[in-house]
Structures are given as C-alpha cells and as structure tokens.
Amino acid sequence: MESIGIVAPHRMHFPEPLALRSGASLAGYDLMVETYGTLNAARSNAVLVCHALNASHHVAGVYADEPKNVGWWDNMVGPGKPLDTNRFFVIGVNNLGSCFGSTGPMSLDPATGKPYGARFPVVTVEDWVNAQARVADAFGIERFAAVMGGSLGGMQALAWSLMYPDRVGHCIVIASTPKLSAQNIAFNEVARSAILSDPDFHGGDYYAHGVKPRRGLRVARMIGHITYLSDDDMATKFGRALRRPSGGADDYHFSFDVEFEVESYLRYQGDKFADYFDANTYLLITRALDYFDPAKAFDGDLTAAVAHTRAQYLVASFTTDWRFAPTRSRELVKALLDHKRRVTYAEIDAPHGHDAFLLDDARYHNVLRAYYERIAEEVRA
C-alpha cells in the first residue's frame, strides 16, 4: 500500500476570540492543519481526524524536508488505505494548547509579548471541537462525512456528535471512553505531579529560564507508556530479558542502572519524549482527558447525554486495552442503543493494549475499511 507521499502543513489563523468552557477566552488563535485528498464539489466527502495526547495535525505522509517524519496514522489514511484519500478529503488539526505549531503555552501571549506559559487557559475537549468547527467553516464544510479519532481523539469525535449533531454523518470512536475512571485520573495525576514538582518547571514559566522540566516529563511519559501497552504485550516484547547480562553466575549487575530490557525501553521512550514534547502541553492535555464527561451535565446519565445525537456510530475497542477497556466502549454503545441509534460495535481481539488503535492489524483495518466503504457509497449517492 502506497503512502500518500509528500504533504505540507498549513497554518490557519482565526482572529475571533474563542470562549472556553472554563469561562476564559482566547483572543485569536492559530491552528496547524494538514489535508489529504480532494474536497468534492458538494463538500460532502470530508473526514476530520482528531488526535490523541502526543500526536498532531500530521496524520499521514511525510514532509519534503523530513522524509522520515511519517504521519502518526499513515497506516490508516492514504490512497487505498482504510480511510481512502482517493475518495475522502481528510483533515488533521493540531489542537489548541498542543506544542506542534497551534496556539499553546509556548506561543506569545499578545497581551504580554511573552510566552503564555502557565497563563495559557485550561482547554477541554469541547473547546477543541469548537475550534475545529471553525476550521470546517473555513473550508465551507457544513457536515463531515465522518469525524474519527482514537483514545482522546475518540472523545473529540463523540463530542462533535453531541455538540454539532447536524454536522456529523458518522462518528468513529476507537479505543476510547465516555469518561475517565478514577484509576485513569490517578495515572494522569501522578504524571502531572512529576512535572509540577520538577524544580525546572518554575511554575510553568520554564521558557524564561532557558530550561525544561525534562525529569518530570520523562517520568510522566514512562508512566503513560505502561498504560498504553498490555501486560501480555510487555511480557512478549521484553519479559524478564536482561539488557547486558553480567556474565557472572547470577548475571545480574545488582545495581539501579538499567538491568532489564523493559527498563531500557522505558528510559528511551521517556528521554525521547522529553526532547520533543512540552510540559505545559502535557498538563493541559491530561486535564482535558480528566474533564471529559458528557454525562456530567445529566447527573451521570450517559443515555440522557446522547439523546440528541443524529450521527451513525462505529465504536471499536481492543480486548487487551486496560487503559480504556472494551467495557467502557460498551457503555457508550448501550447508551446509543437506548435511543435506537445505528451503531456498529467491533471488539477486536488484539494483543497490543491501548496502542492497538495505532497499529496495522488486519482485522481492525478491515472493520474500518468496510465501514468507510459504506460511507463512500452514501457520499456518492
């Protein structure tokens, strides 16, 4: 299967203030956007792909000057791929508060001329959806053929179908949940604590000090990584394999340096993340996860919360995902079925835990491919 090839990001500027759920407001903002495929004359073939924690607008393809920087969902989006760019016009948007070019804590606050830092307002899934709606407006897209996302991206897709019921044909929610559990929040809180307590955090204004809270980011990413993989997958990938057996009778080194392969892997992931990710963004995005809970305004009644949806749904989960387990997807499916919504639910037997939604698994991709065939027929009709 060919990749979509060379792509280029665009910066879109939105001069109007954006009222946020918190009550704060963001004066004009920029969003980084990438598009793939061609918008048809009826503007009926557009698909919005929403990203999760550390991803961006760069969904597919590579950049001319960065041939190794492959989009994060390149196996899903492209010519002949499940989301076929020969048929659909696909939009990737980097969310507000992220650190890949959209307005966020590293951006200059027009009020002070300095980076927002800790003064960047807390943003929510709903705020992202409102910001994305303006992207749709700018493209003249009244209604998306589909809004799709995995994990936190799936929350955005779900929120789209709740907030803009007339603007979403199909809502595709993968490896996601209608709300975080106490345990999910707990993991986020530990990650945030590691960042907030890093002496290099400087209350969020580390840019001015020429440092970044690398130690905290590193620990935060290591914690996250454990929750993305399944126990079985870790056992298969690493088991108890040693990094450099000592050669002694007992072949341990009896130290706190890297001993097991899994330690080496986690440290590598942590270091890499600390290089490229922004700590304030990590705080913001984990908080957006915590806060997402569309049933909250309905006393926790998810069925009531989805009463006014009009989309059709594809909900998919993975058997070994313990971060957002299949039971969480089934809650959503049940609430939708309470209203006799058209829902396709796929529970995919895959060993790779939460990360499965990013991987090229034939059973998973076939479900998506078949579902997009159906959408393509509707778009043609």
- Looking at residue 151, the DSSP 8-state letter turns out to be T
Helices (H), 106-248: 125-138, 152-163, 182-196, 214-228, 231-237
Q: Cβ closer to its own copies: 35 or 227?
A: 227
How far CA 269 is from CA of 221, 254, 275, in Å, comes to: 7, 23, 10
| Residues in the annotated binding site for substrate | 221, 355
Q: Which residues, numbered 97-136, are part of the site for its own copies (CB under 8 A)?
A: 121-122
Does the footprint of its own copies cover residue 25 (CB under 8 A)? no
Tokens of 63: 């950049």
Please report how close the Cβ of residue 35 comes to its own copies at its closest, in angstroms. Answer: 32
Q: Does 197 bind its own copies (CB under 8 A)?
A: yes
293 near its own copies, rule: CB under 8 A: yes
Which is closer to its own copies, CB of 27 or CB of 235? 235
Q: State which residue, 265 or 364, has the beta carbon closest to its own copies.
A: 265
By CB under 8 A, is residue 222 in contact with its own copies?
A: yes
Residue 169 and residue 45: Cα distance in Å, rounded?
10
**Helices and strands in the chain: count of H runs, count of E runs:** 10, 16
Determine, following the binding rule CB under 8 A, whether residue 183 of this chain makes contact with its own copies.
yes
Q: Determine, following the binding rule CB under 8 A, whether residue 185 of this chain makes contact with its own copies.
A: yes
CA dihedral 185, 101, 219, 120 (to 10 degrees): -60
Distance of alpha carbon 228 from alpha carbon 230, whole angstroms: 7
Q: Does residue number 255 form part of the binding site for its own copies (CB under 8 A)?
A: yes
**Binding site as annotated, residues:** 221, 355
Number of residues that bind its own copies (CB under 8 A): 58
Sign of CA dihedral 122, 124, 127, 131: positive
166 binds its own copies (CB under 8 A): no
Nearest to 132 by CA among 46, 7, 63, 71: 46
Radius of gyration of the chain (CA): 21
State which of residues 69, 86, 112, 181 lies at the interface with its own copies (CB under 8 A): 181
Burial class of residue 109, CB neighbours in 10 A (0-12, 13-18, 19+)? middle
Task: Give whichever of 80 and 199 is closer to its own copies, judged by the CB atom.
Answer: 199
Q: Which of 91, 172, 266, 314 binds its own copies (CB under 8 A)?
A: 266
Q: DSSP string spanning 29-46?
A: EEEEEEEES---TTS--E
Give whichever of 220 and 379 is closer to its own copies, judged by the CB atom. 220
Examine residue 226 and tell whether it contacts its own copies (CB under 8 A). yes
Distance in Å, CB of 209 to its own copies, minimum: 14
- Least distance in Å: CB of 288 to its own copies? 10
The H or E element that residue 339 is part of is none
243 burial via Cβ count (<10 Å: 0-12, 13-18, 19+): middle
Active site residues: 151, 321, 354
Sheet with 343-348, strands from edge to edge, namely 10-14, 29-36, 89-93, 46-50, 144-150, 168-174, 312-318, 343-348
Cite the DSSP H helix spans in the chain.
Answer: 125-138, 152-163, 182-196, 214-228, 231-237, 261-276, 279-291, 302-305, 326-337, 362-380
CB nearer to its own copies: pick between 38 and 181: 181
| Residue choice 166, 248, 377, 381 for contact with its own copies (CB under 8 A) | 248
Only segment of 55-63, 155-163, 291-299, 309-317 that touches its own copies (CB under 8 A): 291-299
**Smallest separation, CB 135 to its own copies (Å):** 24
Instruction: Report if residue 247 touches its own copies, rule: CB under 8 A.
Output: no
CB of 184 to its own copies, least distance (A): 9
Residue 49 sits in the site that holds its own copies (CB under 8 A):
no
Q: Which positions lie near its own copies, rule CB under 8 A?
A: 21-24, 121-122, 179-183, 185-187, 189-190, 192-194, 196-199, 215, 218-219, 222-223, 225-226, 229, 231, 234-235, 237-240, 248, 250, 252, 254-256, 259-263, 266-267, 270, 283, 287, 290-291, 293, 296
